[in-house]
Amino acid sequence: MKKVDIKNILKKVEKPARYLGNELNTIHKETDVKGLIRYAHCFPDIYEVGMSHLGSHILYNSMNLEEGVFCERVYAPGIDMEEKMRENNVPLFALESREVITNFDFVVFSLSYEMCYTNVLNMMDLAKIPLYAKDRKNKDPFIMVGGSCTYNVEPLADFVDIVVLGEGEELNREVVRAYKEWISTSPYENGKTRKDFLEKIAVIEGVYIPSFYEFEYNEDGTIKKLNKLNDIAPDKPRKRIIRDMDQVEYPEKIIVPYIETVHDRVVLELFRGCTRGCRFCQAGMIYRPIREKSIERLKEIVDKMLKSTGYDEISLSSLSTSDYSKIDEITDYLVNEYAPQNIGVSLPSLRLDNFSMEIAEKIQQVRKTGLTFAPEAGTQRMRDVINKGVTEEDLRNAVSKAFQMGWNSVKLYFMIGLPTEQYEDLDGIRDLAYEVIDIYRDVHGGKIRGKFGVTVSTSTFVPKPFTPFQWHGQDTQEEIRDKQRYLVGKLRNGNIKYNYHDSKTSLLEAIFARGDRRLSDVLYEAFKNGAKFDGWSEHFNLERWMDAMAKFNLDPGFYAHRNRNYEEIFPWDHIDVGVSKEFLIRENELAKVDKTTDDCRHGCRGCGINSSDIGRGLC
């Protein structure tokens, strides 16, 4: 297989260490072994972002444990590197072997953000792989995608061969094992085709083959029905989960980069799933049920990770980290065991209602990390609407404790544009920010001391599939900008810093989050016209996307801003995540009357996961 020579190119690009592939703990295998399955794990963003993605490390480790499989990393090259590659006719290559991925068996993309879709096309184009699945020949790799965006993969459906739904450690290996068995029988002889392999794996739980289905549309643009084109395909492809978190592999030797990445630390995953039921949160719905790792397993993992990397910080990671049932015990162990070695512990996800002074006191022994809280909304009414489950009193208690313990700044995250939001709710954001200042003064004798500050950040609500708010439209661009300007005026204070997310990217995110297959033409058109790195403000151009939508007579508002009724068929309705549509409707109706639903750790709320084949017996 062709190996690229990039020595001359590396001298002319920023951060050449992105492309070396020989970092500490990388895995290298002989590539001239007969029957070796080549698997390219692609992250459609730059190296620094992809190297901070825990799921990529997990799958890199998992796939390389499989005998006869070589999994290598591929990231989107920086703009400067891409230019040099195209000038010198260098196809996209895998880092470890530096061999082009064009002739790999699998080219697999992690889809964690809708704004990466043009990078997926760009990376395939750089690799000289036909972009449309229908155009690929037997010699071409199978394009497979996984990650949270695959729960509505329809805007990308025309470009991919295989979709894996859910957690991939076991599922991806099952697909590869099926391929090994299939390819060993010389499948492309005697008239066999790629479709034969897709039929073979379509019966694997967690596998979705988009080409085996097609949609019909009504005159108003809504979906009329879904037709199954292949009898072997399941009526409702079902997500896969790992049932026993102690038994599944976890990378004990993660790759240590030569350059600074977004997250330079050991990441210790405590559990998967969430029981809080925030109505805007897709992750809280699609990753159910809760599955925790044992203390013993966590101790084993963290010790090996620290010894193999040399990192001096441990980050505890999960959707709501402080909800881990033995959070006191694990933090006690980590601090007692590693603080003497000057290794710190950080808790990136802190809930206002269970902020523990004792835990905070323990983890600040080595270094005081920043404190970030997410009230999400400014008033109690709005927090009840979204089922956040925290109160203003929770905020007062948490920040008061923090200031008493020596912190002199906090970050508060909110969302604007939520269903039923009024300007009074925005005033509540202002009130909470000023209340934090007052609390700081109270703790410090009425004075502001040192570099005290409150950072208020707002993001724009994006309606996501499989949430109770999937029927709600997103605020228009004008409405969001008016709200942002309103908050700028309300938060003018020397001790307050206000950050807000660009509403233009949120619009495109909403379009693709709730989009259908007709958007594939739009995606391809925007890519042809230069769209890539759309998640980066310096590269994003909304006008390019609006032009592409206009070319195909598609209305952005139809996808992003339109409220939908319960009878409408969604592009993702045929996917089974275990949480029932009836539960989501019930939660949406409760939101309309400002009613909350308790955390299901304290009693089943009937979401459906416990009665489904996916999660039965785990709740």
Could you write out the DSSP letters of every residue in 197-219? HHHHHTTSTTEE-GGGEEEEE-T
Three-class HEC string of 380-447 = HHHHHHCCCCCCHHHHHHHHHHHHHCCCCEEEEEEEECCCCCCHHHHHHHHHHHHHHHHHHHHHCCCC
All structural domains of the chain with their residue ranges = 7-228, 266-501+581-602
pLDDT of residue 367: 67
pLDDT of residue 502: 85
pLDDT of residue 368: 67
C-alpha–C-alpha distance, residues 532 and 454, integer Å: 34
Could you give phi then psi for residue 473, rounded to 5 degrees? -80, 160
pLDDT of residue 354: 62
Could you give phi then psi for residue 388, rounded to 5 degrees? -70, -35
Which residues lie closer than 8 Å to 413 by C-beta, 6 or more apart?
372, 373, 374, 375, 376, 457, 458, 459
Coil vs helix vs strand at 174: helix
pLDDT of residue 448: 84
User: Cα separations (Å) of 198 from 47, 133, 160, 214, 325?
Assistant: 31, 12, 12, 16, 42
Which residues lie closer than 8 Å to 234 by C-beta, 6 or more apart?
202, 203
C-alpha–C-alpha distance, residues 332 and 62, integer Å: 30
pLDDT of residue 369: 66
Find out whether 182 and 200 touch, Cβ atoms under 8 Å: yes
Which residues lie closer than 8 Å to 220 by C-beta, 6 or more apart?
none
The ranges of the chain with pLDDT < 50 are none
**What tokens does 148 get?**
């949270």
pLDDT of residue 530: 97
Long-range CB contact pairs, 433-442, < 8 A, 24+? 433/491, 433/493, 433/496, 434/493, 434/496, 435/392, 435/395, 435/396, 436/395, 436/399, 436/410, 436/412, 437/493, 437/495, 437/496, 439/396, 439/399, 439/400, 439/403, 440/399, 440/403, 440/408, 442/400
User: Cα separations (Å) of 592 from 281, 384, 557?
Assistant: 17, 10, 23
Paired strand residues for 223: 217, 569
C-alpha–C-alpha distance, residues 597 and 275, integer Å: 11
- CATH 3.80.30.20 describes domain 266-501+581-602: yes
C-alpha–C-alpha distance, residues 562 and 579, integer Å: 24
Q: Which CATH architecture has domain 7-228?
A: 3-Layer(aba) Sandwich (3.40)
User: Cα separations (Å) of 268 from 48, 265, 300, 347, 416?
Assistant: 19, 10, 11, 10, 31
pTM value > 0.85: yes
For residue 123, give the nearest of 139, 100, 146, 105 by alpha carbon: 100
Backbone Cα Rg of the chain: 25
**What tokens does 164 get?**
């894996």
pLDDT of residue 395: 87
Distance of alpha carbon 597 from its chain centroid, rounded? 25
C-alpha–C-alpha distance, residues 125 and 573, integer Å: 31
For residue 615, give the nearest of 235, 243, 318, 269 by alpha carbon: 243
C-alpha–C-alpha distance, residues 475 and 473, integer Å: 7
Burial class of 459 by CB neighbour count within 10 A (0 to 12, 13 to 18, 19+): middle
pLDDT of residue 349: 59
Find out whether 39 and 106 touch, Cβ atoms under 8 Å: yes
C-alpha–C-alpha distance, residues 426 and 527, integer Å: 37
C-alpha–C-alpha distance, residues 350 and 247, integer Å: 28
C-alpha–C-alpha distance, residues 108 and 429, integer Å: 42
**What tokens does 232 get?**
């072997």
C-alpha–C-alpha distance, residues 382 and 496, integer Å: 22
**What tokens does 71 get?**
């999994």
Q: How far apart are the first and last CA of the chain?
A: 48
Could you write out the DSSP letters of every residue in 492-527? --TTEEEEE--HHHHHHHHHHHT--TTHHHHHHHHH
Could you write out the DSSP letters of every residue in 347-366? ---B-GGG--HHHHHHHTTT
Give the β-pairing of 213-217 and 223-228. antiparallel
pLDDT of residue 560: 98
User: Cα separations (Å) of 518 from 174, 209, 453?
Assistant: 31, 17, 47
Could you write out the DSSP letters of every residue in 17-30? GGG----BT-----
Query: Please, how many CA atoms are within 13 Å of residue 214, restricted to the half-sphere of its CB?
Result: 3
Which residues lie closer than 8 Å to 52 by C-beta, 6 or more apart?
261, 262, 263
User: Cα separations (Å) of 156 from 194, 195, 221?
Assistant: 19, 19, 18
